[in-house]
Amino acid sequence: MATILQSTKAYEAWMRKQLGDDLVEADLAKKYRKMKSDGFVFLRATYWRWAETIFDICPDLADAPKLLAIGDTHLENFGTWRDEEGRLVWGVNDFDDAATMPYALDLVRLAASAILARGDDGPTPRVIADAILGGYRRGMQKPSAIILERDYKWLRNDVILSNAERKAFWDKFRDLPLATKPVPALYLDALRRSLPDPTLPFVPKPRTAGTGSLGRPRFIVDLEWRGGPVLREVKALAQSAWSLWHDPSDTAIHTGVIAAGPTRSPDPRYHVTGNLLVRRLSPNSRKIEVAGDAQILLSPDMLDLMGFEIANCHAGDVARIPPVLADLDKRPADWLRTSAKAAAAAIGAEQAEFARRW
């Protein structure tokens, strides 16, 4: 097996081939600095490495039933948006690495991320695994979008931003610097088509965000329309790192397919065109981060709901539900905790090696 340093360089070379001059060198350097910080951030930044190594760490997962899965699942892969009816929805909001793979991998990766993020006083690996698995079983038996307008009051209270936080949100994007070089027409056209009025004049700004996607270009447009702010983002997509390693012939981008699954209530402003993703950003269309919200994200209730939402994403193919439930029934009671602990330990060891040697 390649070392983490060799793997990182190989994946960077692949990205350069995919993106060419669009690769954002400064963001790539920032990604490597983040990878040296801690295990949770390292996991977020290195999905390609997970795809390479997970079957060496947990070989018993390879024979689990396959379906269209999220791939890069972790604690910060969830957020809120407004659906077609204007309802506030919570769920997975990043499907950049969606691909066909064993269903169990989404559960193990989420549990491993929680173990890496929990610190000294967080929930035990057993509590983490039991909560995720309980929610997932419930979701596979009866999937349902997580709508916050009437139900889930406890979650709604946690995700609604205060007035000060809303102001900070808008100020952050207003204060982004302008691009220092021309923005490629492909990104400009995608942003223009996403606006409520495509004839509105706008000035795009480059944005640095995320962890695993650092290096890929993304741009935002922030403007006023009919008395209020409008914010759109476009970012480059690429072949899933899972497909790259396990099925190179599958070059399709599955992001839009899984996001619009029949047991979810998707954001109507979330669109994939070619290799570009355009989406609305707002105080109600955002991800929830560990920094400042770790207590919320690591609570058993939230972990249970994360498991439930993973099931919502997996249940898009109804024919796959019975095989998955049958597979869950035959696995040892402690399989998720055992697998997640092994994955977290391996990730922690590679992160320490990367931090020493990069």
Q: What are phi and psi of 266, to 5 degrees?
A: -75, 165
Q: Would the CA dihedral through 210, 24, 190, 204 be positive or negative?
A: positive
pLDDT, position 290: 63
Tallying the residues shown for the chain, one arrives at 358
Cα–Cα distances in angstroms (integers) from residue 154 to residues 18, 29, 308, in the given order: 43, 39, 16
pLDDT in tens for each of the 358 residues of the chain? 799 999 999 999 999 999 998 999 999 999 999 999 999 999 999 999 999 999 999 999 999 999 999 999 999 999 999 999 999 999 999 999 999 999 999 999 999 999 999 987 889 999 999 999 999 999 999 999 999 999 999 999 888 888 998 999 999 999 999 998 899 999 999 999 999 999 999 999 999 998 999 999 999 999 999 999 999 999 999 999 999 999 999 999 999 999 999 999 999 999 999 999 999 999 988 877 766 677 888 999 999 999 999 999 999 989 999 999 999 999 999 999 999 999 999 999 999 999 999 9
Which pTM value belongs to this model?
0.95
Which residue range(s) make up the domain with 34?
Answer: 4-357
The number of domains in the chain is: 1
User: What counts of helices (H) and strands (E) characterise the chain?
Assistant: 15, 11
Q: Are 73 and 109 in contact (CB under 8 A)?
A: yes
pLDDT, position 162: 87
pLDDT, position 296: 85
pLDDT, position 289: 74
pLDDT, position 119: 81
Q: How far apart are CA 241 and CA 71, in angstroms?
A: 9
